[in-house]
Amino acid sequence: MRSNVQGIFAAGVMALFVLVALFADVIVPKDPLGMDLLSRTTPPTWSWTGLGEHPLGTDLLGRDIFSRIIAGAQTVLLVGVVSVVLGGFLGVTLGLVAGYAGGWIDRMIMRLADVQLSIPIMLFALIVVAALGPSLVNLVAVLALTGWTRFARVIRGQVLAIREFDFVLSAKSAGASALRILVFHILPNVMNSIVVIASLDLARVILLEASLSFLGLGVQPPTSSWGRMLAEGRTYIASAWWISTLPGFAILIVVFSVSMLGDWLRDLVDPTSRFRGPGSK
């Protein structure tokens, strides 16, 4: 019951986040790029009777924080979803091939995954982005490359079991091609796992994007980014706390909600997982 309440709450928060991101251009109260140096570092202004001109304050250039957070949600959704979809497509494809083909193909793909997993994710992302240069396209590519291994390892393990099921063996004996068996017989049986992995991976991607943007290697100005907003206000945390605290709070809420939603989906797909201890198999 408690898990269901948490899952529904997380789903509601994520639905609100997606709606805000999709309709950001419509609901944003002010131009997120509009500067007003006379209103720079204005603190949040609101009361019980209504909101002020800048309900969440302004940044160092007089830009409205509330508008920039809404615009940043659009960036987070775009980068997060595209990165997870690309990484998932690559990982699922390689996992299906490795699990079904076996032999040297399986060993080669898994060794490649092991090599990448041996490198810390942040270090790998920093090296690639620094080499290719910071841009939105490069950022999405790097985030996708850091996530395919999770999909590949899980899907490969499931395919190893599913390929021995009677319906797969029957399709083989009927002369079905390997591609047809993978797409029409095996893939539908691993879709639940793909959805769960994708939801959990989205939280990791959002945090990694914010970290790279904070370091100046992610989303570049003038595009609004929550990580970039954190970096812009870090030296003014004592005198203008709202510049970095509020975007950080937005990251916390979204990542926490995505993680709860992923856990909820995992419990729905595999109810026994909630009872397993750390050392269980």
- CATH number of the domain bearing residue 70: 1.10.3720.10
Average pLDDT in the 46-51 region?
Answer: 58
Tell the burial category of 98 from Cβ atoms under 10 Å away from its Cβ (0-12, 13-18, 19+).
buried
What is this structure's pTM? 0.86
In a domain, 236, yes or no: yes
In a domain, 267, yes or no: yes
Q: Residue 280 pLDDT more than 60?
A: no
The residues pairing with 51 across neighbouring beta strands, listed in sequence order, are 46
In a domain, 116, yes or no: yes
Tell the burial category of 202 from Cβ atoms under 10 Å away from its Cβ (0-12, 13-18, 19+).
buried
In a domain, 50, yes or no: no
What span, in angstroms and rounded, lies between the C-alpha atoms of 202 and 146? 12
User: pLDDT > 90: what percent of the chain?
Assistant: 39
In a domain, 86, yes or no: yes
Model confidence band, residue 109 (pLDDT cutoffs 50, 70, 90): very high
Amino acid, single-letter form, for residue 177? S
Segments in 216-241 forming alpha helices (H): 226-233
CA distance readout (Å), 190 to 48, 57, 84, 186: 51, 47, 17, 7
pLDDT digits (tens, 9 = 90+) for 160-183: 999 889 888 898 888 888 899 999
Which pLDDT score is estimated for 237? 86
Residue given tokens 């609101």 in the structure block:
46
Model confidence band, residue 151 (pLDDT cutoffs 50, 70, 90): very high
Amino acid, single-letter form, for residue 243? I
Which pLDDT score is estimated for 255? 93
Average pLDDT in the 212-232 region?
Answer: 87
Element (H, E) at 50: strand 50-51
Q: Tell me the residue range of the domain where 237 lies.
A: 2-23+66-272
In a domain, 83, yes or no: yes
In a domain, 53, yes or no: no
In a domain, 28, yes or no: no
CB of 97 closer than 8 Å to CB of 105: yes
Which pLDDT score is estimated for 2? 58
CA distance readout (Å), 237 to 54, 128, 244, 245: 18, 31, 7, 8
Average pLDDT in the 252-272 region?
Answer: 82
Model confidence band, residue 134 (pLDDT cutoffs 50, 70, 90): confident
Count of domains for the chain? 1
Peptide bond into 222 cis (omega under 30): yes
CB of 246 closer than 8 Å to CB of 56: yes
